[in-house]
Amino acid sequence: MDKRLFWILILLLGFGLTVQAQVVDEDDEDEITVTDEDGTETEIELPEGMTVELDSLLSQYHAKHNLSINTNCNFPDVNPVYDTLVYIQRLRQLPTVMELAHNEVVQQFIDRYSGRLRRSVSIMLGAQNFYMPIFEQALESYGIPLELKYLPVIESALNPKAVSRVGATGLWQFMLATGKQYGLEVNSLVDERKDPIKSSYAAAHYLKDLYRIFGDWNLVIAAYNCGPENVNKAIHRSSGKTDYWEIYPYLPRETRGYVPAFIAANYIMNYYCEHNICPMTTNLPQKTDTIMLSRDVHFEQIAHVLNCDINQIRELNPQYRRDIVNGNTKPSVLKLPVNLINAFIDNEEDIYAYNAETLLTKRAVVAVNNDAPQYTSPRHSYAKGKGHAKGKKGRHTRGNRSVTVKKGQTLSQIAARNHTTVAKLKKLNGIKGNNIRAGKKIRVK
């Protein structure tokens, strides 16, 4: 045997390394099976961020325009498998405040990320360049351990527009009520759960509050997933134990996999090279800036006048649900590439005017058509025929109807109630001014 090959084999064995070909399983299975010491098998649900299809990740604007395959990466497409002690040691070496313990469940999630999900990991490694600085700044401002920046990896696979099967939305997967509780606006036009910056600060605030309740970061992220009530129930059912791994059997199925998945995400986002995973190359987009708008504007108006890609505007402003910045409601932020900010200011009136009658269709004032013949239902006509209609000079006779002015009423109110105008009332009754005496009868038709 060649001496160099002999020593390579010795080194590999010394590190407990064996190499197996990475097999890409296209099955969309969303569970893993864990076998305990007694041979009992338990199925654990994967967090939804681990079930996102590859095509969905690649369809994002920043993936299509700012990520590309790293042609300089020459890793073989195989997934090395190491001795258990290697995984334990690597997790211990991560500079974290949180306990990142290893066990069979954690290993199952590491294997999933390094095997079946390795191409998704490659995309997320590229996408993290857009989001991690935002996450770190938000977490730092609330004194939260920075390793929690990997929470959106398992929550949303770093997709700001992700929506779960139960309606959790955005990078941090806020439910509607929780998002509003932490200051995120959600209405028909805006969903700030999709805003990377605002949702990150809301998430940091929420995590801080959960830590005040539980005082343990593993319990905090379990509560982030299933709610503090469910964690408290699990603590109660376990006779008051407050260790995540002690209350583990009493948690909802998905939450049982949540902490292990989080530990695995920390592992794979730091040790991807050891598993031959090449990060996508990131071409960071041009710098952006914001402008405050006090009028409604449609993305298509901006894209047309400034001759830019409407999808880029959507990518930079994911919180706007209908492509409309609702500046009429309150001053609202629009984010644009720096080179378009001055262009927007210089062409602002042209932008607001472009195709506004089609793109911004909400009318402020609507005229009522009083010229068309009044429709009378057959049932109403039948009732009149039975003697319920008044005579020619009666109160309800069309063309000669009067009302008595009540105290405080104005001509405008009377006109509105009787589907006519002030001008017609004045002409019909010979009224010259705008004042009218209570108790006076005036004709309305």
Contact between 196 and 171 (Cβ < 8 Å): yes
Residue of 405, 407, 408, 413 whose CA lies nearest to 429:
405
Cβ atoms < 10 Å from Cβ of 422: 16
Contact between 196 and 127 (Cβ < 8 Å): no
Task: Give me the residue label for tokens 């041009």.
Answer: 286
Q: Which helix (H) or strand (E) holds 316?
A: helix 310-316
Question: Half-sphere exposure of residue 52, counting CA atoms within 13 Å on the CB side?
Answer: 32
Amino acid identity at 93: Q
Q: Which of 48, 155, 185, 192 does the annotation list as catalytic?
A: 155
3 state SS of 336:
strand
Catalytic (active site) residue 31? no
Task: Give me the residue label for tokens 């160099």.
Answer: 4
Task: Give me the residue label for tokens 């334990």.
Answer: 88
* Conformation bin of residue 279: beta by default, left when phi > 0, alpha when psi is -120 to 50: beta
**Which residues does residue 320 pair with via DSSP β-bridges, in sequence order?**
190
Angle 201-207-212 from CA coordinates, rounded to 5° = 130
**For the chain, what's the residue count?**
445
CA distance 218 to 290: 37
Residues catalogued as catalytic: 155
